[in-house]
Structure 1
Amino acid sequence: MARKTSQLGRFTDVALLVLISLAEGQKHGYRMIHDIEEFSGTALEPGTLYGALMRLEERGWIEPVETAERRKPYRITESGRDTLREQLATLRRIERAGARRTAISWGLS
């Protein structure tokens, strides 16, 4: 069953990138910044990342991991994984529609 957009709130690209990064395993902010740049080519500023982390934590999609170290790692929650799956499915539908429509409009079909 698909969620209503209002339940997801404003789903930003940064939120999606963070969830994808954390789907691989727990990470602290500095590691997320480098991971996100590596897999997406998107260079995030620390303020942008930490704002997204705060919003994702408030929604229950990520949570901090207890550690004795100075850096605070995060992990994705089950709710976050569900949300990520839904968003990726939506992006696949959008990509298919875009590919189909551009092929038609460009005479490639």
Structure 2
Amino acid sequence: MSESPMREPTFLVLTALAEEPRHGYAVIEDVATITAGRVRLRAGTLYAALDRLRAEGLIEVDREEVVQSRLRRYYRLTGAGAMSLAAETARLRSQATIAERRLRARRAELGGAPA
């Protein structure tokens, strides 16, 4: 993965697949759950992201099954995908820690007033 920050939809798709293999609609549902409904991926956005992540080697097809005469493809995180997700998680955690530290310092400067 490049050194640039991961786009939020990519982060969320990888996060959804970190728990277990999922098919596309299950990824959409899990992303909505992860974000408390703030992010609702559209099918076109999701499948473009899945194709890109497969090409980058971050996810792979786990299995395919036919459900009600339709092909359902399950995706799983690869080792490279897990490493990329871990690196992005660490980057975000570091930035959040800095923000929290600065907000605490600001509250202290203001005599404990909310930031």
Asked if Structure 1 and Structure 2 have the same fold, meaning a TM-score greater than 0.5 normalized by the shorter chain, the answer is yes
Alignment-mate amino acid for residue 83 of structure 1:
S
**CA distance, structure 1, for counterparts of residue 77 and residue 25 of structure 2:** 16
User: More deviation in 28-37 or 66-75?
Assistant: 66-75
* Equivalent of residue 63 in structure 1, options 52, 60, 63: 60
Deviation of 1:39 after TM superposition, in Å, equals: 1.5
- What is the number of equivalent residue pairs in this alignment? 103
**CA distance, structure 2, for counterparts of residue 105 and residue 46 of structure 1:** 42
Q: Secondary structure at the match of 1:72?
A: strand
Deviation of 1:68 after TM superposition, in Å, equals: 3.2
- How do 1:94-109 and structure 2 match up within 5 A? 94-106=95-107, 107=109, 108=112
The aligned residue for residue 82 of structure 1 is 83
**CA distance, structure 2, for counterparts of residue 66 and residue 94 of structure 1:** 37
Using the size of structure 2 for normalisation, the TM-score is 0.81
* Equivalent of residue 52 in structure 1, options 49, 53, 56: 49
The aligned residue for residue 15 of structure 1 is 10
The aligned residue for residue 31 of structure 1 is 26
Using the size of structure 1 for normalisation, the TM-score is 0.85
Q: Secondary structure at the match of 2:65?
A: coil
Q: For the pair shown, which has the larger CA radius of gyration, 1 or 2? A: 2
**CA distance, structure 2, for counterparts of residue 73 and residue 4 of structure 1:** 26
Change (3 A) 1:49 1:89: same
Higher helix share: 1
Q: Secondary structure at the match of 1:71?
A: strand
Deviations 1:40-90 (A, max 9, x none): 132111111111111111110000123232111100001100111111111
The aligned residue for residue 73 of structure 1 is 74
**CA distance, structure 2, for counterparts of residue 28 and residue 81 of structure 1:** 18
Deviation of 1:4 after TM superposition, in Å, equals: 5.5
Over aligned residues, Cα RMSD in angstroms?
A: 1.7
Q: Which runs of 5+ in 2 are unaligned?
A: none
